Homo-oligomer: A and B are copies of this chain.
Amino acid sequence: MSDHKGFTLWMTGLSGSGKSTITEVLIDEFEDRDIPLEVLDGDVVRENLSKGLGFSKEDRDINISRIAFVADLLSRNGVPVITAAISPYRETRDHARQIHEGNSTFVEVFVATSLEDCEARDTKGLYAKARSGEIKEFTGISDPYEEPLDPELRIETAGKTPEESAQDVLDYLEAEGLISAK
């Protein structure tokens, strides 16, 4: 097994920004390198920890706190974790960071795809529904997305493949000594 430390890679970005796609590439890469990894994406967590919660600010905050609680439990025990929830509120992300403080390494990764690009692709058709009002409380349209001010890593996805974006993450993790170089 490759050498690694426990850490939480906290991916944040708009719906459709590429968080899940980049995570998929990272899952394969970690597997290739024989590094353990747990992925807490929005859907897994809503199913197993947060069923019944909605998308109000309060419910989103509770959901994010639960993800952070579990991510910290894992990462402080040496397990690499990726979370991939939109996590639109700065204060809530900072709270997630605080939960990790003194326990393990928190890496905020801002997947900085612009709203225009996310909406132009609209792979799941969610932006169209948000514009028509069919979906309420949609981040970037009817709900705020507060960009990270000082993330550990900012990924500019424009003109890049998911593999290239994932490589940015791997380079960071290697440079920080969180995973060993390939």
Flag whether A128 is at the interface (Cβ < 8 A): no
With A74-B74, A79-B77 as contacts: A48 and B36 at CB distance below 8 Å: no
**Which of A38, A51, A69, A73 gathers the greatest number of chain B CB atoms within 10 Å?**
A73
Q: Are B73 and A49 in contact (CB under 8 A)?
A: no
Whether A62 and B51, one on each chain, are in contact in the complex, defined by CB atoms closer than 8 angstroms, is yes
> Which positions 38-52 of chain A face chain B at CB distance < 8 Å?
38, 48-49, 51
Q: Mark A16-50, 1 if CB is under 8 A from B, else 0.
A: 00000000000000000000101000000000110
Q: Is A65 an interface residue (CB 8 A)?
A: yes
The smallest C-beta distance from A48 to any residue of chain B, in angstroms, reads: 4
A66 touching B38, Cβ below 8 Å: no
CB-nearest residue of chain B to A51: B62
Q: Does A70 contact B (CB under 8 A)?
A: yes
Compute how far the CA of A48 lies from the CA of B95 in the bound complex, rounded to whole angstroms: 13
A103 to chain B, nearest CB (A): 12
Whether A69 lies near B51 (C-beta < 8 A) is no
When the two chains form their complex, are residues B48 and A65 in contact, meaning their CB atoms are under 8 A apart? yes
